[in-house]
Structure 1
Amino acid sequence: LPLSGQYVANYLQTMASVFTLCFHCRTRDSTLPSYPTSFAVIKAIQEDCGFFKESRRFIEFPLSEEEAEFPIAYSMVIHDKIEMFERLLRSLYAPQNVYCVHVDSKSPAAFQEAVRAIAACFPNVFVASHLEKVVYASWSRLQADLNCMQDLLQSPVPWRYVLNTCGTDFPLKTNAEIVHALKMLQGRNSMESEKPSALKQMRWQYHHKVGQLISRTATEKLPPPHSYPMFTGNAYIVVTRAFVRHVFENPTAQRFLEWAKDTYSPEEHVWATLNRMPGVPGAMPQNDKFQLSDMNADAYVVNGVKTYSLLTSSSLSLPPEKKIFVGSAFSNIIAIFP
């Protein structure tokens, strides 16, 4: 899109800064100090945020009018690898957006301190007001996102959509490209949602108990407290502000969340089911033709590496290179697949 006025200067200034360091960016990132064990680095960030933001090349002004007028919210659920969190935040950061960071309450104190030190440097980055002890595949994983979503609703930033990420994700598109894709959704949500297999249905047919791990009991659960079919998907979603508000304010949604608390991996069926319920903002119809599987919706599995695609309303007809990817490659940053 064409740039004008102050946005031209902003864009050129940022691009000059980025291109200057492009040749050395991989070397620079590979030699980052280990924040969890380097209290001197944490102290330095706290004492001089300006130097931290400048040296790490955070974008400090909107690069276009379109981006300035379309703020995005992020829910970032992390538990370790402070270097990867800093890199993820830097790659997603724009001053008009807002970022909630949920840190696993089990994470080492030094890691939590480092995250708070980084967040304190930005008026639009904050740590969630309530932190969960996250147990894999339990309700706590979904609750972590809910905590951030509730905090984000209280933010003065008038964000339109919220995207959730984990600490090992990395965006492969610019903020401007993400804004463009979100606009193409035209108020709809984007997430995987399809009919569950018999095996996946067992995740909510039995009561599960949580300790250090989650385990299934022999106790059968009552059916969900609504008359709608269940759907399954994954944890990573793109939803509107109205959808988030509906989740917290609608009695049916609240009863469903309460019912799902003792299910296995609820984040993989709660969002997918809510997004197919009539009357839910941005939802898709229950008809089979609106199903989005893991191969044509948010998630792709390629050579064992899971990546996430931000879909548009017409994305099913687009070639792969037209989709917007955010990759989860454990400890590695990945590139766009051909």
Structure 2
Amino acid sequence: MNTCGQPGGIETLIVLGANPVVSAAGAGQVTERLKALKHLIVIDFLPSETAQLATLVLPGSQWCEEEGTTTNLEGRVQRRRKAITAPGAAREDWRILCDLAHAAGRPQGFKYASFRDLQDEFFRATRGAVADYSGLSAERLDRASFQWPVPHAGSPGTPYAYAPTYPTPDRLATLHLPHLPPAGTSGLTLTTGRLGNQYQSGTQTRRNPALRAEATVQLHPETARDHGLRAGDRVTLRTAHGETTLPVTLSPGMRPDTVFVPFHWPGTANLLTSPDCLDPHSRMPAFKSTSVTVHPATVPARDGPERKDPSPARPPRPGW
């Protein structure tokens, strides 16, 4: 995405079921790149902050409105059956992608008579990979769930693919701690994460009054006292990547050198994180470690986080 808006760079991007304006590290930079696109197509089943920037929004489907499989964290693959039909103009995501390819004049590789054909192709494509699904089929998954790898049709799957013993000299797992950037002169490190009643970028859960929660910054009472802050005071957090203003919540269980902000709200945690500092092994951004400074806010209190973004969002054009 770094070439958006540049000659010969990316002009069109399709975002399917994601909200990077809120969930991606360096959300401010991500938003700038999305706005620089000639066309941004968003496929989703609820409006999101990313969809507000789109030139075209296509109503997609939820998990219960299409066939598929679900793989959980232990590698267990289970079949999902379509329970209801997507309402109105909404359609299954795979059909939308195929139609877009045909409309763009690139139908090769996007011709499937049914979802079963697409799924079988995916299973074949994983042959020989660490997560090998090639021994699976809809018929096998009708009878039972399986844990990958499942390398052939007779394979019972591989429960506990990474269970002890481990290929280390003492046969025990070795924990590798990544090198974290220094906290900076403030001695404070920002870490981001989740709240129990919110999900991902909050596109679904922020709409539910029963799950209402406030976007706040959590500070240890000693840290708050050192900065002249009390519970409910508004505080401005600044990093090398951006700033945001939030009310304070006191959390005695936290470390005094740590500042915590949940990422479920726009204009909060990921305005402060960097898309460039990556773990050398997983290539994940440094969501958990960013040098931060804390300042009592001088701006007038308003509902929600303060955000400076003068450029207006483009009104999306409904699809189909």
* TM-score with structure 1 setting the length: 0.25
- Which has more radius of gyration? 2
Name whichever structure is richer in helix by fraction.
Answer: 1
Higher RCO, Cα 8 Å, sep 6+: 2
